[in-house]
Each structure stands twice: as structure tokens, then as C-alpha cells.
Amino acid sequence: MKILYEDDYILAVHKEAGIATQTSKLAEKDLYSEVMNYLSSKGKKDTIGIIGRLDQPVSGIVLFAKDSKITAAFTKLMNEAKPEKYYLARVYGGPKDDEGTLTDYLRKDAKTNSSIICKEGEKGAKKSILQYKVAEREGNEALLDIKLITGRHHQIRLQCSNAGYPLLGDRKYGSEKSIEYSKENNIKTVALRAYKMVFPHPVTGETMTITDEEK
């Protein structure tokens, strides 16, 4: 387990793509269990809390609180403070402009564990915004540096796909061409990583910047 930051109250770790943040499936590896085992080995027996999850195919930063009181305070603070979350997404094709904003309305379908683009005012519709800058362009690919303004279910994957540049390795929201290209290039998981978070510390109030510079 790769630890990105740790103090007496919180823990930030790197989640590998393909591993669930937390699962109820028997014998399936998950990050929550790894963190529990790590803290248990250090003598901690308090209930830990997950502060923001990542989809199973996505890699990057996941935050944990080390006890129930910190979990409650941290969750409330994160909801109020609106932390800054940054992602790197490798997409098929890419936007025409080098930077821009995507704004859509998304609705989650719990039965299929997916989200769809819908119209404002529809039942369950939530306004979804992200900002992007093109970090690289090469052949049929582009690397987007994304700042997530709202945190919706599968937001980056769906919004990029809807805009015409789906994420590589994304079988759920990818286009026929992007899925075929991913297969040809042996890209087996969603090319999305949460690489930076900026948020207030739940105890000290200090502005924390956590980065995951894995390439």
C-alpha cells in the first residue's frame, strides 16, 4: 500500500486501478481492508471512515479518517468546504480547444450502476461541471488535466464521452472506435487518475495539498 500522507487523524493512500475502494464480496481485495490491516498492525482499533471514494477502474488518491469522530467532522467539512479535486484523463481524440468547461445535467441509474445525460428539470437531474486543460496531444490520444467542480457519479467518464472524446479503456461509456483502439493498444482499465486534492485539515484547519505523482 502506497501511503501519500499520514498523521494522527487522517491517512491518504494511492488506490490502484481495478481494486475496489470497499467491497462486500468475499475474497475480493479492497483498499479499505488494506488500510484496516495497516492500522491494526500499528495498534489502532478505532473504526475508520472513507472520505470520498473512487470507482473501481480509477486510480489515485483516497482519504481515510482514523476514527468515527474525525470521520463525522471530516465528512461535514468536505461537504461545506468543497475541496479541489484534480484528475488526469487520457482520452480518444480530444477537444478542439486547449482548455474549456463542460456543463451537463446527469442522472444516475442505480439499477445499471451508470449515469446518463438528461435535461435540466428532469427527475434526478444534477448539474455537473468540470474544467479541463489539454496537457498533451499525440496521435489519436490527448491527456486532459481536469478540475472537478461537482462530484457526480461517473461524471468525468460520461461528460468526456458525451463531448466526443471518451476515456481510453472505458467499456461502459466508450465509443466503438475508442473501445477498439483501447483493445489494440492493450489498455485494459479506465485511463483516469485522481492526482491532486486540496482541502482543509479536519482538526488543524490547515490547507492540505495531497498529490499522487504516479506515472
Q: Is 49:69 a contact under the CB 8 Å cutoff?
A: no
pLDDT band at 148 (very low <50, low <70, confident <90, very high): very high
The answer, as to whether pTM is greater than 0.95, is no
93 bridge partner residues: none
Interatomic CA distance for residues 116 and 54, integer angstroms: 19
DSSP 104-126: EEEEEETTTTEEEEE-TTSTT-E
Domain span at residue 48 reads: 3-81
The verdict on 113 and 183 lying in the same domain is yes
Interatomic CA distance for residues 182 and 180, integer angstroms: 5
Catalytic residues: 55
Interatomic CA distance for residues 63 and 12, integer angstroms: 5
Domain-embedded: residue 207? no
Please give the C-alpha separations between residue 122 and each of 108, 117, 173, in angstroms, as whole numbers.
12, 10, 21
In terms of Cα–Cα distance, which of 201, 169, 205, 197 is closest to 52? 197
Residue 214: its pLDDT value, please?
A: 65
The verdict on 100 and 8 lying in the same domain is no
Higher per-residue pLDDT: 176 or 213:
176
Domain-embedded: residue 49? yes
* Span 84-96, pLDDT tens digits: 999 999 999 999 9
In terms of Cα–Cα distance, which of 161, 174, 165, 170 is closest to 189? 170
- CATH code (residue 54): 3.30.70.580
For 45, the grid coordinates are 482499533
User: Does pLDDT of 215 surpass 60?
Assistant: no
Q: What angle do CA 48, 148, 19 make, to 5 degrees?
A: 45
- CATH code (residue 168): 3.30.2350.10
Q: Is 197:83 a contact under the CB 8 Å cutoff?
A: yes
Local structure of 161: helix, strand or coil: helix
Domain-embedded: residue 140? yes
Q: Which 8-state DSSP code applies to residue 180? A: H
pLDDT band at 153 (very low <50, low <70, confident <90, very high): very high
Domain count, the chain: 2
Average pLDDT in the 134-160 region?
96
Q: Which of 26, 54, 81 is the last residue of a domain?
A: 81
User: Does pLDDT of 26 surpass 80?
Assistant: no
The verdict on 102 and 138 lying in the same domain is yes
